[in-house]
Chain A
């Protein structure tokens, strides 16, 4: 009985090794200033979750807002891959004017975002129209 279990041991070890190799992580380590000098303008946001699975994989950390070129709204949404493997999502940013109307542009498209394991990424967009006062960021798993 003991000999039989000893014979099975190499097979079990091999199986574990194969399993571990298949689950190789691509986690990202990083380093940054302990006391950041930047003073981001994080704004309060409202999240509408229709895909709980995606919400579990990609965490929205914060939304930073500013103005560029005088009067053009710029946003950066900080997101984090909650998984230990590379994830591919796509996003789209829509701009809204003071009357609540969407402001379409010819380059307003779904764009890809690829994040390595546990990596933080940024969804960045600048409103082409100076009339934009609000935004909607849509994220979808690909």
Chain B
């Protein structure tokens, strides 16, 4: 008799337990090398990296990097302007490019010369200055042979229920001595989103 009394309570607890199980957020590991979520209004880091890879292919195919008088040549990273509507970590994007360019063995990036006099690695800059002061020599800075600059752009075209968004990644490699862009590349990623006929 007492057991029967507890029966509804047991069922209620089981039902609540099932309910919470159903509400649990499903999480699974994703391949960081693949874009598994496609969103027309946003561009994923993987998609920027895809564009970056194609730009590196283009830069290597051009043979421009071999024109430097000594290899590996020094490259400084200039400004990457983000003209898209979304927040893009341009430093992270540039880092991918830098790592890949470094792997070519043709370019090394300076971390003590940056835009507006700001060093990416201030400690390295200070240490070099300190060493120079201690040895009584004038501090010398190795100037870059190349600078890398770029721009991220976004264009939207709407026609009826369809919206086409085109993201453009532009890069320029400038020879510091002449101030001329020796190589320029552009990659585009285009997406079309269709609005549903009935919106709730």
A interface residues with partner B (beta carbon < 8 Å): 68-70, 72, 74, 90, 92, 105-112, 124-126, 128-130
Residues of A close to B66: CB separation below 8 A: 69-70
Cross-chain contact A107 with B56 (CB below 8 angstroms): yes
Q: Which DSSP category, helix, strand, loop or mixed, fits chain B's interface?
A: helix
Which of B49, B57, B62 has its CB near the most chain A CB atoms (within 10 A)?
Answer: B57
14 inter-chain pairs at a CB distance below 8 angstroms, sorted by A residue, are A69-B62, A74-B57, A74-B61, A105-B100, A107-B96, A107-B97, A108-B33, A108-B53, A109-B34, A111-B53, A126-B60, A126-B61, A129-B105, A130-B105
Known: A69-B60, A106-B95. 18 other contacts (CB 8 A): A69-B62, A70-B63, A70-B66, A74-B60, A92-B33, A105-B100, A106-B99, A107-B53, A107-B56, A108-B33, A109-B33, A109-B35, A109-B53, A110-B33, A111-B54, A126-B61, A128-B56, A128-B100
Residues of B close to A68: CB separation below 8 A: 60-61, 63
Tell me whether B162 is interfacial, beta carbon within 8 Å.
no
Whose C-beta in chain A lies nearest to the C-beta of B57?
A: A126
Whose C-beta in chain B lies nearest to the C-beta of A140?
A: B34
Tell me whether B46 is interfacial, beta carbon within 8 Å.
yes
Residues of B close to A107: CB separation below 8 A: 49-50, 52-53, 56, 96-97, 100
Tell me whether B137 is interfacial, beta carbon within 8 Å.
no
Chain B min CB distance to A124 (Å): 7
Tell me whether B188 is interfacial, beta carbon within 8 Å.
no
Residues of B close to A126: CB separation below 8 A: 56-57, 60-61
Cross-chain contact A110 with B99 (CB below 8 angstroms): no
Whose C-beta in chain A lies nearest to the C-beta of B96?
A: A106
Tell me whether B42 is interfacial, beta carbon within 8 Å.
no
Residues of A close to B63: CB separation below 8 A: 68-70
